[in-house]
A and B are shown apart, each in its own frame.
Chain A
Amino acid sequence: MARIIAGVASSHVPAIGAAIDNKQTEEPYWKRVFSGFEKSKEWMAEAKPDVAIVVYNDHASAFSVEFVPTFALGCAAEFPPADEGWGPRPVPVVKGHPELAAHIAQSVILDEFDLTIVNKMEVDHGLTVPMNLLFGSPKEWPCPVIPLAVNVVLYPPPTGHRCFMLGRAIRKAVESYPEDLNVVIFGTGGMSHQISGPRAGLINKKFDTAFLDNLTKDPKKLTRIRHLEYMREAGAEGIEMVMWLIMRGALDDKVDEVYRFYTVPASNTAVGHIILENRKRAKGKAGKVKRAAARAVSLVRRSK
């Protein structure tokens, strides 16, 4: 059985990618940001996931205003880096996991989440920057990646609650995949920032801290945050934090926070980062019985 072992949330500021590509990571401004991810890279090297699901948003690279899918799952064998106007980032081509992706698509659609299936897609900094932060800059990415692009550009994005429930459905899908795979799920974007209009530059550390605290302890509280509150408190573009709730929904109710990092600024944005691990499940008969019972209960609920 495949299982989700941990969730990672990280900002995906494009300037971080530019700093990597232009070899500025040792400059004091950027060192402050990158030093916060040193421990995370060690953690990731040890976790060695077989697959990563990366929840991110496209920034007018793969999707223009011609069509705007709310949730788009990348089912292709590979995803080349997009040319975002100054040439593609010099990062490896992202290899997909078409089998698991197709399995997830089939499972969550039947669970009433109407995903868009994408079989050809380029990926931009929204996906590749968090990968750099957690995997460094290797010649090849160490594991296959399933991109899940979420619309947070055209208002309204999906609600936080919807995102959380999609995470739940993804967890169920992964756990019903027969192959023995360890999966890490990324939620990217945020934290507070506004890059448009006269209010640009807004940062709300209090909001971000409360968001991080509750992400670990009480994520259901976060699912009640309305879009107006995200935009008002965390900036017009801070609304992309709903994507973190997909990651959180895919984890167990009780998780261990193993690492957290927060700094202001990177370009216009508050950089937030957290690693949450699922606790080891009870093995053997007792655990199996418990899980079967839980499944039965959820089936009964659904059939009502």
Chain B
Amino acid sequence: MTRARHDYDDIPGTFVFDAERSRQGYGINMFCMSLMKDENRKAFKANEAEYLKKFKLTPEQTDAVLKRDYNRMLELGGNIYFTAKLGATDGHSFRHLAATMTGSTQEDYADMMLKGGRSVEGNRSRSGRGAVGSVLGEQGKPKGAKKAVKAKGKSARSKAGKSKSAKPKSKAKRR
């Protein structure tokens, strides 16, 4: 069965842990939960493939775990708070895993964070429709506060602006 489409699929570089992924990834996440016990961590480390057999993973899921492909684990239903336990078993912190998932080196990632993190500009949307209907985002600003709009994103933004101007009025009435 193909995955149902959701509005949040438009966010780039993000795997939302929703009901479907939770169902699909139950085995991965319960495997990761088991790593909270020291004896299980040892058993897993002694023979990883054998240990994984207890959790009814698909071949793709098993492969992702063995290869420590954290993005693939998320895509196949793992959740970061669970897969982080696998990371901890390997001696890695959340930050280490995050850097790994972005594909950058540990140094570059740490440096990016110290400089204020990854900017949301250019990282909002795959489709470019961006912040339609947002309350605090770029489109959430009151009229006249958008002086700094760059020419580049103008068409998409003005389009979004139009649909937005009609929306909040009806919302305001409802609440």
Interchain nearest-CB distance for A228 vs B (Å): 5
Q: A37-53: which residues lie under 8 A (CB-CB) from chain B? A: none
CB distance from B119 to the nearest CB of A (A): 8
A109 within 8 A of B: no
Chain A residue with the shortest CB-CB distance to B37: A83
Tally of contact residues, A, Cβ under 8 A: 55
Q: A153-B17, A231-B16, A233-B137 are in contact. Are A264 and B95 (CB under 8 A)?
A: no
Q: Is the CB of A85 within 8 A of B85?
A: yes
A residues less than 8 Å from B114 (CB atoms): 265
Q: Assuming A64-B30, A198-B103, is B8 touching A228 (CB within 8 A)?
A: yes
Do A268 and B94 touch across chains, with their CB atoms under 8 A apart?
yes
Q: Identify the closest chain B residue to A203 (Cβ).
A: B117
Contacts of A195 in B (CB 8 A): 80, 94, 97-98
Contact with B along A56-96 (1 / 0, CB 8 A): 00011100111010000000000000011110000000000
Tell me, yes or no, whether A267 is within 8 Å of chain B by CB: yes
- Tell me the complex Cα distance, A155–B7, Å: 13
CB <8 Å contact, B131 and A64: no
Question: How many A-B pairs fall under 8 Å by CB?
Answer: 182
* Interface residues in B, total, Cβ within 8 A: 61
CB distance from B14 to the nearest CB of A (A): 5
Q: Of A226, A231, A268, which one neighbours B133 at CB under 8 angstroms? A: A226
Q: Measured between alpha carbons, how far is A221 from B171 in the docked complex, in Å? A: 11
Chain B residues whose C-beta falls within 8 Å of the C-beta of A200 in the assembled complex: 13, 98-99, 101-102, 118
Q: How far is the CA of A66 from the CA of B35 in the complex (A)?
A: 16
| A220 sits at the interface (CB 8 A) | yes
Query: In the complex, what distance in Å separates the CA atom of A40 from the CA atom of B141?
Result: 31
Nearest chain B residue, comparing its CB with the CB of A82: B36
Determine which residue in A153, A222, A270 has the highest number of CB atoms from chain B within 10 A of its CB, and name it: A153
**CA–CA, A154 and B20, complex, Å:** 10
Show 24 A/B contacts (Cβ-Cβ < 8 Å), sorted by A: A60-B79, A65-B25, A83-B36, A194-B118, A197-B101, A198-B101, A199-B13, A200-B13, A201-B98, A205-B116, A207-B136, A220-B175, A222-B135, A224-B135, A227-B8, A228-B7, A229-B134, A229-B135, A231-B11, A231-B16, A232-B131, A236-B16, A265-B114, A265-B116
Q: A15-B94, A197-B15, A226-B133 are in contact. List 14 more A-B contacts (CB 8 A).
A: A60-B29, A65-B22, A66-B30, A154-B18, A155-B8, A194-B14, A194-B118, A198-B13, A198-B102, A201-B102, A201-B117, A229-B133, A231-B16, A232-B11
